[in-house]
Amino acid sequence: MNTPLLASALMDIRPGLIFYTLVTFALVAIVLRMKAWGPIVAMVEEREKQIANAIDSAKKERAEAEKQLAEARQAGAEARREAAEMMRKNQAEVEKFRDQLMAKSRADAEALKAEAQRAIQEERAKAVAEVRAMAADLGVEIAKKILNAELDAARHQALADQYVAGLPQSAQPSA
């Protein structure tokens, strides 16, 4: 075959071929429109609805997430405020408890001091009484030896006690 002949055969206009090609195209378009175009359009519309729903859902979820984030921030701020308030209250309670303990310790120390002073006064009084009794007994013994006579012990003891009671009080140790 000759190449120029083949090229010219392809370029020839044949009305019968054009007619059948148009009829075939029309039939295929009608069949496609009836059988394929409707489902394809329905699928495209359904996909558009799904995309629109997904976008709306994403917007709603984003708004909800922003709302929850704001609530979480507010809750965090509230928790920090409450924690600071609790710390302040605890600090005040600790200070109050410390002051109470200090006051109790001071009161206990004062009570111990007063008890010790009372015990010292009692011991001093006992010691003074002992010294007086010893002085009286010593005076009676000295008087017996000097007089070399037995005096009435009760009468003599009363005289010695009277003498010791008459001694100046400044001889006692001061408190």
The whole-number pLDDT of residue 7 equals 63
Could you give the percent of the chain with pLDDT greater than 90? 52
**What's the whole-number mean pLDDT along residues 47-75?**
95
Average of per-residue pLDDT across 94-121: 93
- pTM of the full predicted structure? 0.38
- Annotated domain spans of the chain: 36-169
Q: Which tops the pLDDT comparison, 40 or 10? A: 40
**For residue 120, what are the contacts with CB-CB under 8 A and spacing of at least 6?**
175
Q: How far apart are CA 175 and CA 172, in angstroms?
A: 9
- Phi/psi for 167 (5° steps) reads -65, 150
pLDDT digit string, tens, across residues 66-97: 999 999 999 999 999 999 999 999 999 999 99
CA distance 80 to 86: 10
Q: What is the pLDDT of residues 127-161, one digit of tens each?
A: 888 888 888 788 777 777 777 555 567 777 777 77
* pLDDT at residue 6, as a whole number: 64
